Amino acid sequence: MNIIPWLKETFEPTLLMSVLLVSLGGAAAWFKGDLNIPLLLIAMVGAVLIQSSVNLLNDYYDFVRGVDYMTEKTPFSGGSKYLVEGLISPKGVYIYGICSLCAASLIGIYFSLTRNILLFPIVIEAILSTYFYTTILARWYLGEFFAGLNLGPLAVLGAYIVASGSTGMFPIVVGIAPGLMIGNILLMNEIPDMETDFKASRRNLVTLLGKKHAAWLTFVIGILAYAWIAFSITMYLLPLECALAFISLPLFISGAILCIRNFSSTKKMIPALGLNVISALMTITILIISLVIAK
């Protein structure tokens, strides 16, 4: 067995989002005065495992339904081609995804029992939305919403609870803009795959609105994310230092404009997809740094 495709299938670049979101939850806990770094690192492992499970199960079900045979692969969309090329086994990917989900679940349940029982509903929601993402959520116009919810306010809140042992509204406020941005990444990435998704009975905002309107929606959602940061600072929900996050705004606007202009061409969409991802990752990173500086 060639281990390289398995490593590439496991350690997708998108896992960086989980690392950053857990770090953001830790930064929020630090800002509020309490941070347990060893526990936060364990939570980070759990977050990476559950996101890896989503990716693995999504690849498995897309392969079974023939979706990945029809998509045009880009660095940001088109699904995994390792199954299509026969480099890894479908059964192995499914088992791997379930094992990752079980391991993440055990970590989440442990923290629910030892840190704060209010973490338990977040863990259960994460387990269910992970397992049913491709089979139900992504087929009923809910994929983008749950991606932004889980990889946004819930991830930040969960990490905050683990790191501090307490809960509150602050981590939710911190996590809303990243959630909007990450949901927006999924939305823009779906634009090149619209025809394939429709044939495979995947229903999302792109298949509902069409490529042109979906491209404009990505612009609106991205602006809303930055507007939320501005509003939160104005209302003293976030420290002034978080205004540094606007450094990434020109990158997002450039990507959004490219998306609106080139939504019909997969090849021309690639720079837009890249700028959208970079601006989101940069924003989350700057928010982490801003909270540390503010402290």
Q: Where are the domains of the chain?
A: 7-290
- Asked if 255 and 283 touch (Cβ cutoff 8 Å), the reply is no
- Asked if 62 and 79 touch (Cβ cutoff 8 Å), the reply is yes
Q: Is the per-residue pLDDT at 96 higher than 70?
A: yes
Mean pLDDT of the region 57-69 = 83
Tell me, rounded to whole angstroms, the distance of Cα 258 from its chain centroid.
22
What is the CATH code for 7-290? 1.10.600
Phi, then psi, of 80 in degrees rounded to 5? -85, 140
- Could you tell me which of 269, 283, 155 has the C-alpha nearest to residue 215? 269
Rounded percentage of the chain residues whose pLDDT exceeds 70:
97
* pLDDT, position 86: 78
Mean pLDDT of the region 128-155 = 95
* pLDDT, position 73: 72
Phi, then psi, of 75 in degrees rounded to 5? -65, -15
Write down the residue that tokens 């442990």 correspond to. 110
- Could you tell me which of 72, 7, 14, 70 has the C-alpha nearest to residue 47? 14
Long-range contacts of 211-214 (CB under 8 A, 24+ apart): 211/263, 211/264, 212/263, 214/187, 214/188, 214/190, 214/263
Confidence label for 77 from pLDDT (cuts 50, 70 and 90): low
Confidence label for 12 from pLDDT (cuts 50, 70 and 90): confident
pLDDT tens by residue, 31-49 = 998 899 999 999 999 999 9
Establish how many alpha carbons lie within 13 A of residue 138's alpha carbon, considering only the half-sphere containing its beta carbon: 25
Cα–Cα distances in Å, from 213 out to 14, 206, 251, 260?
26, 8, 21, 9
Q: Is the per-residue pLDDT at 78 higher than 70?
A: no
Separation between Cα atoms, residue 127 and residue 193, nearest integer Å? 26
